[in-house]
Structure 1
Amino acid sequence: MTGLKARLRWLLPLALILPGGVAAQDAYVAAGHGESVPVMLRIATDRPGTTFEGWGTALAWFANVTGAYPDATRERLADLFYGADGLGWTIARYNIGGGNAPDTPPYLRTGGAVPGFWRVPAGVDARSAWRADDPAMWDWSADAAQRWWLDAIRRRVDAPLFEAFSNSPPWFMTVSGRVSGATSGTDDNLRAGQEGAFAAYLARVVDELQRRHRIAFRTLSPVNEPNTDYWFAANTQEGAHWSPARQAAMIDASDAALKARGLTTVVAAPDETNSHLFLADWAAYPAATRARIGQLNVHSYGTVHQTGVRDIARASGIRLWMSEHDMALEKTPEQVDDVATALAFAEHVVGDLRRLEPAAWVFWQAVENRSARDGQPGSNWGIVKMDLTAAAPGPDAIRITRKYWAMANFSRHIRPGYRLVPVDDPDSVAALSGDGATLVIVHVNGGVLSRRLTLAPAAGGYRLTRRIVTDARRNAAADRITPVADPRSVTTFVLKRG
């Protein structure tokens, strides 16, 4: 959940950037002169791997804004992401806000000031006297906008998976007095000895929201992108640095607080920004701390050593989620129909599924603010774009991007209960339904030549029944049934056994 500038440090420089317009796309593809190449796919349907649980998004900032929109607008957004005719997502990550002091001048980015659930009665010094066991120190009317999404998702999904996560402790538990971090991005911001109080705060919120919204938080993630230098007091979003030792202490305290309340929620950790920092965190945890983790979370803002994280999940027998990612190509102007970013995004998803073999893939913010202002180009982050500063927008303000349709190629067809299966082609990912009757292949062709795909005999016994394409002209559209991946496209092939 780092800022865009910080995240771009993890992106490799791109030698070629293609404008997103259809005319430019047509000219680019025409360079291939209609040629095609054969590609053989060797799919090990006899060796199914991770059981996939689904796709989703963090709610966080966009939900803190859009949950207060008029019904027609917010219901339309919920349908786009969680509806049966939308992306069919089943996962949501709810952001438990820290919350700055009431007298702090506003400085966080649009939607970023997620309210905390604490209350400070008159005459109370919160830094020394706030107590989780005092009912007078809680405000259960807080964060109504993001909480609207909990109910909206529950109404649309039969068995939703909810995770609660934290970006920062409340201001009165911090060193700096701000939820955006310590003075330096390499200093821990939770005050010494406050792990128990912070864990009690998080566990109490989980307990209360479960009861009030009739949902279950399967996991609680108490730290986010912890071992980075992203989080400092002058930043414009919530965040906190945690050294590995402080991470371990917080994981221990969170596990104890959840159990003290009799909750079945387990700790997810460390929600690190990339795999190589995840490995550093994990190596520093004591064995007892590792044993308290019920789910491993990693982000994919950087893909070095992803198989190392996969190996830890396998060896420890702990479920692994890719719990946050978004991206945009550098220097591409903000365009809802930009196919270059959609292709790069789809390639990234394929890579994550192949290297991490996670049980879930979770987007960062499904809705991003339209960022082109004053002649500046803006960015293609987000899969839906809106002006999040606008008052009471209607459904016509929702702008669906090409990335949304690229996501549809995955989430509409690789469904919960499917199992990821090995495939030798680096641009393909494959999944098998639980009964083995359906085989889904998603293939990303970023080049200018068509690809004629064939299955090696070992994966025989399946016949092609559907072909769904996203490119500069088609939006997850069913197309002629042929084993061809068109140039500059994301193509889903649905095969049936027999």
Structure 2
Amino acid sequence: MKFRKRILSMAAVCVMLFDVMSIPASADEIETKTVSSANRLCVFSGWGTGFSKWAVEAGKSKAVSDKAAEMLFGEKGLKMNMVRYEVSGGDDPAHSHFLDSDKMPPSWIKTVTDNNGKIDHVLDLSKDKNRIALLKKCITSAGGKLSVELCPTSPPYYMTVSGCTAGAVYSGNDNLRADCRNAYGKYIASAVNAMAGQGVSVTSIAPMNEPSSLHWKAGDTRREGFHVSQGEPQSKLLIAVSNALNSAGLSKVSISASDETDIDTAAASLGALSSQAAGTVSKVNIHSSEHENADFTALAQKYAGIRITDADGCYTAGENAGEMSAALGISKRIISDLQNSRASAWLMWQAVCDGRPDLDAGYLGLLYRDNMTGSLDATQKYYAFGQFSRYIGAASTLIKVDEDTIAAYERSNNRLTIVAVNDCSCVKEVKYYLDGFGLLKGSSVTEIRTSGSLYDGEQWSVTDNAAVVTSTGFSADLAPNSVTTYVIDGAVLHVTGTLGDVNGDGHINVTDRTLTAAHVKFARFLPDDAQLLADVNCDGLINITDITRMAAHIKGKRFIKDVRRYNEDDFITDAENDVISDYDIASDG
């Protein structure tokens, strides 16, 4: 009898072991991801696209340009707020090597001859009127808040060594004539004024594009470009452009440099600039950041910000992901670019491609113009981009999480946003631990997701999976091959310091007031912890009232009282977590 019982017991154990082993790992394992305020990267400034060939084509059709402006820059679209406007140098009229010259941005250079036979070159934007009209529509769609950067692809042909705007005879040679550096600077300043004449305010200039690259060769059939060697040549060019802008009364137009292809090349270029040239640069532009570079990070700290520009590629990711393959690919690239470089902006090279691509593979662009119908259509890649751009806006602070996750915090409305990529074919259960944040009573989590195909999938779908918020965070399930955005309302950043002491030096003085004024004028955003200290009247806003209160304090007229906006009773406590847990258990029966 005892022997029989032992056999039955052993059999029961075997059945139990089999049952445990048959449970998928994804259903049994919970992955914990920590979103820590200690891992803040930078204050974000926005999203955008280049204005190159796609804009030339879109500008030819009112219907396409209207739709492009709304889908890319509108409130119901991607909410982009930046444009890099490509300016063609204009090749020698005798040349005919560019295969798609009719789709390239038209040159602004017009050759004129006076009565004495003297030849001169002037700016004439008339051939580019369609693209400029599209830009104005985009400005309107963005609510008038659109940062425009001019990006000359090459000096005009008569300023080049080879006489060709595709590059030098030997691609590693500099193609801007040494005696034309000042003329090139004046050409750029004239371009800024010409755009102002069209009613477009230019924010910045990027006078070089991938200058260290070796693919700019005379007679090339693809596009314009020019090599500028690191060190003295790049330094002298930047100084010439800065001098020309200042002479033209355009000192408020900033200079971006050097738009190198990758973070390593960018580090070498920045490190080789003379101190005078480095002083002319406001923002650092790079085109990709597949990994971190300590030298680049150290060098870039002296500048006003870093931006990923001309980004995109035929990126793919996922397991049997179908139309989500390109969507997952660009999502993972956005996360790696922003976290590796600590960039404050991410801009596409071209947001629209010609012709319907293979939607199950990698492709360039977010939208495509159907060659048969002429219509402008979205892709799952477009909607994946929107999972970031629609919910992470300017003035929010980026937070590094991991290779599949990035977060951002908006102090003005106590909102924490998390964008998560699941490139696996199974559900991932994740516990998000929020470190350095207090969660107010009544805090909520909204889940927005893109997955599947255009026909039967999700596009910015707000799910019914309302996560329960505890004092430490929340848990969620990531759908297979998906990009999901979590918007947590009621997250308050913990911060120490004295109200009004914005820079944390122990004093409230004119420096703090100046920093706050720059934030209010959108000149330079304060980090989130500094924003909390700049909100001296604790109304949740930073405005002229706070600046006035600081001024009164500095003058000794009215001192700032350090009264915080929230107290301990406003937040979810550990004790309340137990109540929530008991409720969940009871609800599950």
TM-score, structure 1 normalization: 0.83
Matched residue, 2:342: 357
1:46-65 per-position Cα deviation (integer Å, ceiling 9, x unaligned): 66441111100001111112
Paired with 1:325 and 1:378, the residues of 2 have a C-alpha distance of 18
Describe the SS at the equivalent of 1:182: coil
- Cα 1:234/1:104, change in 2 over 3 Å: closer
Asked whether 1:299 is paired with 2:299, we answer no
State the 1:310 CA deviation. Answer: 3.2
Describe the SS at the equivalent of 2:168: coil
Structure 1 residues not aligned, in runs of 5+: 1-30, 132-136
- Cα 1:454/1:372, change in 2 over 3 Å: closer
Aligned CA-pair RMSD: 2.8
The alignment of Structure 1 onto Structure 2 pairs a total of residues equal to 446
AA matched with 1:83:
G
Asked whether 1:51 is paired with 2:23, we answer no
Paired with 2:70 and 2:124, the residues of 1 have a C-alpha distance of 30
Asked whether 1:451 is paired with 2:415, we answer no
1:182-240 per-position Cα deviation (integer Å, ceiling 9, x unaligned): 12221212123111111111110111202322x32121000001101121123211111
Q: Of 399, 405, 408, which aligns to 1:428?
A: 405
Q: Of 451, 462, 471, which aligns to 2:451?
A: 471
Structure 2 residues not aligned, in runs of 5+: 1-22, 468-475, 491-570, 572-589
Question: Does the Cα contact within 8 Å between 1:99 and 1:113 map onto a contact in 2?
Answer: no
Q: Of 464, 468, 471, which aligns to 1:480?
A: 464
State the 1:496 CA deviation. Answer: 1.0
AA matched with 1:380:
Y
Question: Does the Cα contact within 8 Å between 2:427 and 2:478 map onto a contact in 1?
Answer: yes
Matched residue, 1:441: 418
Q: Of 241, 248, 253, which aligns to 1:265?
A: 253
Q: Where do residues 189-208 of structure 1 align in structure 2 (5 Å cutoff)?
A: 189-208=175-194
Q: Of 376, 386, 389, which aligns to 2:369?
A: 386
1:328-385 per-position Cα deviation (integer Å, ceiling 9, x unaligned): 14899xxx97211211110010111212221111111001122769xxx996111111
Asked whether 1:115 is paired with 2:98, we answer no
Asked whether 1:144 is paired with 2:140, we answer no
AA matched with 2:153:
N
Paired with 2:137 and 2:188, the residues of 1 have a C-alpha distance of 23
Pick which of 486-495 and 177-186 moved more.
177-186
Q: Of 234, 248, 265, which aligns to 2:219?
A: 234
Matched residue, 1:401: 379
Matched residue, 1:290: 278
Paired with 2:149 and 2:65, the residues of 1 have a C-alpha distance of 21
Paired with 1:63 and 1:325, the residues of 2 have a C-alpha distance of 16
1:133-160 per-position Cα deviation (integer Å, ceiling 9, x unaligned): xxxx232313112212221122122321
State the 1:325 CA deviation. Answer: 0.6
Q: Of 253, 272, 293, which aligns to 2:240?
A: 253
1:84-122 per-position Cα deviation (integer Å, ceiling 9, x unaligned): 100011111111111112332262436653222221124
Describe the SS at the equivalent of 1:203: helix
Higher Cα Rg, which structure: 2
Paired with 1:331 and 1:355, the residues of 2 have a C-alpha distance of 19
AA matched with 2:447:
R
Describe the SS at the equivalent of 1:475: strand
Pick which of 402-411 and 321-330 moved more.
321-330
Question: Does the Cα contact within 8 Å between 1:368 and 1:382 map onto a contact in 2?
Answer: yes
Matched residue, 1:41: 33
- Cα 1:313/1:36, change in 2 over 3 Å: farther
State the 1:39 CA deviation. Answer: 2.0
Asked whether 1:340 is paired with 2:325, we answer yes
Asked whether 1:412 is paired with 2:397, we answer no
Question: Does the Cα contact within 8 Å between 1:276 and 1:306 map onto a contact in 2?
Answer: yes
Matched residue, 1:17: none
- Cα 1:55/1:372, change in 2 over 3 Å: closer
TM-score, structure 2 normalization: 0.71
Pick which of 89-98 and 472-481 moved more.
472-481
State the 1:449 CA deviation. Answer: 2.7
Question: Does the Cα contact within 8 Å between 1:61 and 1:110 map onto a contact in 2?
Answer: no
Pick which of 266-275 and 138-147 moved more.
138-147
Q: Of 89, 93, 96, which aligns to 1:105?
A: 96
Paired with 1:125 and 1:287, the residues of 2 have a C-alpha distance of 45
State the 1:313 CA deviation. Answer: 2.2
Asked whether 1:161 is paired with 2:139, we answer no
Describe the SS at the equivalent of 1:429: strand
Asked whether 1:83 is paired with 2:68, we answer no
Question: Does the Cα contact within 8 Å between 1:35 and 1:449 map onto a contact in 2?
Answer: no
State the 1:312 CA deviation. Answer: 2.2
- Cα 1:43/1:193, change in 2 over 3 Å: same
Question: Does the Cα contact within 8 Å between 1:307 and 1:356 map onto a contact in 2?
Answer: no
Question: Does the Cα contact within 8 Å between 1:258 and 1:266 map onto a contact in 2?
Answer: no
Question: Does the Cα contact within 8 Å between 1:370 and 1:386 map onto a contact in 2?
Answer: yes
Question: Does the Cα contact within 8 Å between 1:55 and 1:91 map onto a contact in 2?
Answer: yes
Paired with 1:105 and 1:237, the residues of 2 have a C-alpha distance of 12
Where relative contact order (Cα < 8 A, 6+ residues apart) is larger, the structure is 1
Q: Of 299, 304, 315, which aligns to 1:312?
A: 299
AA matched with 1:298:
I
Paired with 1:339 and 1:101, the residues of 2 have a C-alpha distance of 44
Question: Does the Cα contact within 8 Å between 1:431 and 1:440 map onto a contact in 2?
Answer: yes
Q: Of 216, 222, 231, which aligns to 2:207?
A: 222
Paired with 1:305 and 1:288, the residues of 2 have a C-alpha distance of 27
